[in-house]
């Protein structure tokens, strides 16, 4: 009977030691596999984070250039208004009659209205350009993050569009300078 009891105790001790061994190794294996899968997920976030940070840099550049364009436009508006005010005062001082002064004021009002419309159109063009650039960045970023990138337009079309924009800009500048000289 003593030998049966010893065998039973030995067998139970062996079973319990095996269970203890399994309990010690199983949580370690689970923790290792969880750490490996977490590391994989963290590594997979590297590209999306890079894409978002590059988009942030591009958006900052867009907002900076838009602010710069608006400040330059504002400076031009103020300079033109001051020049026109000085010219108007000089003309008023040289005017011989009240009728000529009234006629001159009517001409100045027409020119001022045209200048304001032109300045507003330039401001709208600046915002429109910025909005298009922001949309482009957002579309490209979305495509990078989701893997659904849009097809790029051929470079020839882009170059032609830039040439047209430059020509229009040069034409506007020339027309504006011509009007300003005519007012003076």
Does pLDDT of 120 surpass 80? yes
- Provide the pLDDT confidence category of residue 167 given band limits of 50, 70 and 90: low
In angstroms, the CA 167 to CA 164 distance is: 5
Average pLDDT over residues 154-166: 67
CA 172 vs CA 18, 102, 133, 178, 183: distances in Å = 88, 30, 22, 10, 16
Q: What is the dihedral of CA 109, 115, 116, 118, to 10 degrees?
A: 150
pLDDT at 181: 62
Q: Who's near 33: CB < 8 A, 6+ residues apart? A: none
pLDDT tens for each residue of 43-71: 888 888 888 899 999 999 999 999 999 99
Average pLDDT over residues 127-132: 95
- Provide the pLDDT confidence category of residue 88 given band limits of 50, 70 and 90: confident
In angstroms, the CA 152 to CA 136 distance is: 11
In angstroms, the CA 12 to CA 18 distance is: 10
pLDDT at 18: 82
pLDDT at 173: 63
Its pTM stands at: 0.58
């Amino acid at each position: 009977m003593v030998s049966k009891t010893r065998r039973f105790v030995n067998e139970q001790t062996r079973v319990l030691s095996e269970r203890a061994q399994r309990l010690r190794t199983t949580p370690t294996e689970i923790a290792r596999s969880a750490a490996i899968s977490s590391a994989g997920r963290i590594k997979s976030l590297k590209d999306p984070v890079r894409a978002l940070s590059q988009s942030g840099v591009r958006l900052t550049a867009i907002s900076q250039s838009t602010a710069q364009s608006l400040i330059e436009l504002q400076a031009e508006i103020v300079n033109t208004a001051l020049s026109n005010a000085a010219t108007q005062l000089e003309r008023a001082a040289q005017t011989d009659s009240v009728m000529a002064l009234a006629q001159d004021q009517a001409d100045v009002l027409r020119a001022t209205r045209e200048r304001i419309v032109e300045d507003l159109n330039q401001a709208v063009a600046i915002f429109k350009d910025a909005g298009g650039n922001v949309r482009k960045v957002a579309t490209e970023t979305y495509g990078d993050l989701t893997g659904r990138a849009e097809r790029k337009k051929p470079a020839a079309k882009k170059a032609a569009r830039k040439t047209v924009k430059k020509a229009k800009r040069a034409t506007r500048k020339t027309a504006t300078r011509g009007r300003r000289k005519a007012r003076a």
